[in-house]
Chain A
Amino acid sequence: MTTLRVKVWRGAENGRFQEFEVPRLESQTVLDVVTHIQRSLDPTLSYRFACRVGMCGSCAMTVNGRARWTCRTHVANVAADNSLEIAPLANLPVVKDLVADMTLFFDKWAKARGKFHPTKTRRDGFARVAPDSAERLLVDAAIECIGCSVCYSSCDVVAWNPDYLGPAALNRAWTLHNDVRDGARRERLAAVAGDAGCHACHTHMSCSERCPKQLAPTASIAGLKRATAAAALKGEL
């Protein structure tokens, strides 16, 4: 049986890679590899996963230098010479082994006003949003984010400017900006503008390149740049 040589990050920020040998199986995913290590070779290995089917966004890690969702990443597609190097997500503090601390990532969603602000109460009727309306189509293009942080981990600007809100939070803000039911558009535009917001984006497009859901946060950020610039020129910000 073929074996995989797998280097796995152990410890926190000042850790090191530990090497394991894992049996190579058909249709094996990177998450299968990590699970094999924890269940059969070293039960002290820490990692995070939940759904295993690409819905929850929990299992993202750095695989051979590139952020990926491990549950949907087949070993056959990434393990050149049957070797893997698995590390925690970049641009986030390491808790232990393959577990990154996501606190800052989700705090930035809150900073970007990533929460829906309703304008109606439960006593009002349902809002009617035409599926083919311009705003709804923009929301559709960006709404399927699973919060895996692959984009955040891949972003050069996040690495250079720790205050930068990052692609996921800005993408979320863009979906709410286009939500005709939302009542906090101006406050949200103010929250996502400027040197720590959408204007810091250099359009490197790593987020769009690596998003496992094939979203384009770069396009969402460009939309926010246009919206905030228009608001600033009108004196609304």
Chain B
Amino acid sequence: MNTRSQILLWAAQRASAVVLALCVLVHLVTVIYAVRSGLSAAEILGRTRGNLAWGGFYALFVAALAVHAPIGLRNALSEHLRWRGWTLEAAMLLLAGVLLVLGLRAVWAVFA
């Protein structure tokens, strides 16, 4: 991987961290609200189904996670297992794809 790509990966991880920090905050407040208000699963689904704002928010959450986690894991694996090169890049790309698919599937389940 060339130097420019390495820099852009670093920038993407920092930018996705900012998005994640906000998303986690909103998510936690939402969870606390839902629990304290005693909302049932049906009531929660009633508010999320067809709601573009919630769907969009959680899709953004998943996208930020799919960017952030593989880049961080790439560094950890490289430093601690000395795993480098194209096999590592391919594995992390695969991980990003899996996180994205599983995450969006979960979002779709509460949106559709």
A residues at B contact (CB < 8 Å): 157, 160-161, 190, 193-195, 197, 199-200, 225, 228-229, 232-233, 237
Contact = CB atoms under 8 A, between A and B. Distances in A.
B43 interface: no
10 contacts: A157-B79, A160-B80, A194-B6, A194-B7, A199-B10, A225-B10, A229-B11, A232-B4, A232-B7, A237-B7
Contacts, number: 34
B71 to A, nearest CB: 11
B7 A229 contact: yes
B78 A233 contact: no
| Prevailing SS type, chain A contact patch | helix
| Prevailing SS type, chain B contact patch | helix
B35 interface: no
Most chain B Cβ neighbours within 10 Å, of A195, A225, A229, A233: A195
Nearest to B80: A160
A237 B79 contact: no
Contacts of B3: 190, 193-194, 197, 237
A233 B80 contact: no
A201 to B, nearest CB: 10
Contacts of A233: 11
Contact of B78 (A161, A190, A197, A232): A161
